[in-house]
Amino acid sequence: MNSSLKYHSIESFTTETGVVYDEIELSYELFGCELHSAPVVLVNHALTGNSDVASEHAGWWRGIISDGNLIDTLRYTVIAFNIPGNGFDKKPGNLIENYKDFTARDVAKLFGLALQELGVKKLHAFIGGSLGGGISWEMAVLFPDLSKHLISIASDWKASDWILAHNKVQEQILLNSSKPIHDARMMAMLFYRTAASFKEKFNRTVNENLGIPNVESWLLHHGYQLENRFHLQSYKMVNHLLSTLDITRDRGAFETVAPLIKSNIVQIGIDSDFFFVPQENIDTKATLDVLGIQSSYKEISSIHGHDGFLVEDTQLKELLKDIF
């Protein structure tokens, strides 16, 4: 079990689909300054991410979160929750049996309630990439006074038709493949990178040991890695959550919902993102401008596609230096 994890339980929680859970145990990690001693930044992780955003050896966003970095752990308290059921706590009892009980909005509500119960009344920012960015949008609507800034990276306030289509194919693989996580991950990697990224990385070279192209061995390796660290129920859960992103569901049009947000909205797209395509962010910015809502759109230039938010640390630091 991850010894750095902390736990907080939410009692008697009713999901958006009407299912009542007597208790949901959330796990989370803290980095930087002691809680309640400094401004707080909430990091919402992506699909197969976790709460370990900044540990010395495994922190997946340590490129921007560490001492003296963009999100300076000498100046901020960083908190990151695990999405319920993602399996990072290695507690089988915390896996979600029926993943369709939950939506991204439920996760956003759970995170917000946990912060309130931990005594965090104000955040400097919510920040998240991909699924984590969508959860941040939901939190900004559910808890409009909670955060000064909403920072959504390679993400959106909704699952587009393109995202929904991708996730449906992922679900079919997860339900029908003899190696579900392995095969679903291989397919997903084609959407997280680009043809140019593959060309730069592999350039049609061959893995002499395996006798296959290096791009094939890389995809097989990614499938194997996720298969060995992720539970099938967890992958079904987070894939489903991605399909439920939509701050307008049962609330009205975007033009009605967006004015509820009091946070400064910062969208960061990636010019080569083939998954959360940047045009959706640009269209959102145009609507926010018409509504007179404070927001900005900034763009990372990268050949690496959706995964650019994990790769282009230098650009991300430059684009967000005015926030931190």
| 82, 139, 155, 180, 275 from 106: Cα distances, Å | 13, 10, 18, 26, 23
Q: Print the domain residue range for 315.
A: 6-158+247-320
What percent of the chain has a predicted confidence (pLDDT) above 90? 99
Residue with tokens 């339900």: 175
Helix spans in the chain (H) = 104-117, 131-142, 161-176, 180-192, 195-202, 214-229, 232-243, 254-257, 278-291, 308-311, 313-320
pLDDT at 155: 98
The number of distinct structural domains making up the chain is: 2
Q: What is the pLDDT of residues 264-280, one digit of tens each?
A: 999 999 999 999 999 99
Helix spans in 45-159 (H) = 104-117, 131-142
Residues 153 and 274 in one domain: yes
Q: What radius of gyration, in Å, describes the C-alpha atoms of the chain?
A: 19
Is a pLDDT exceeding 70 seen at residue 306? yes
pLDDT at 95: 95
State which of 192, 215, 240 marks the end of a domain. Answer: 240
Joined together, the tokens standing for residue 147 give 């955060």
For range 163-181, the mean pLDDT:
98
Residues 140 and 271 in one domain: yes
Q: What is the mean pLDDT of the chain?
A: 97
Residues 6+ apart with CB under 8 A from 161: none
CATH number for the domain harbouring residue 177: 1.10.1740.110
Is a pLDDT exceeding 90 seen at residue 3? no
Q: Which pTM was predicted?
A: 0.97
For range 17-24, the mean pLDDT:
97
Q: What is the pLDDT of residues 214-264, one digit of tens each?
A: 999 999 999 999 999 999 999 999 999 999 999 999 999 999 999 999 999
Residues 12 and 85 in one domain: yes
Residues 36 and 150 in one domain: yes
Task: Decide if 149 contacts 321 (C-beta within 8 A).
Answer: no
DSSP per-residue string spanning 311-322: H-HHHHHHHHTT
Residues 62 and 205 in one domain: no
What percent of the chain has a predicted confidence (pLDDT) above 70? 99
For range 170-188, the mean pLDDT:
98
CATH number for the domain harbouring residue 118: 3.40.50.1820
For range 4-18, the mean pLDDT:
97
Q: What is the pLDDT of residues 63-117, one digit of tens each?
A: 999 999 999 999 999 999 999 999 999 999 999 999 999 999 999 999 999 999 9
Task: Decide if 135 contacts 128 (C-beta within 8 A).
Answer: yes
pLDDT at 40: 98
Residues 231 and 315 in one domain: no
Is a pLDDT exceeding 90 seen at residue 2? no
Is a pLDDT exceeding 80 seen at residue 1? no
pLDDT at 323: 98
Does residue 1 lie in a domain region?
no
Residues 133 and 257 in one domain: yes
For range 172-197, the mean pLDDT:
97
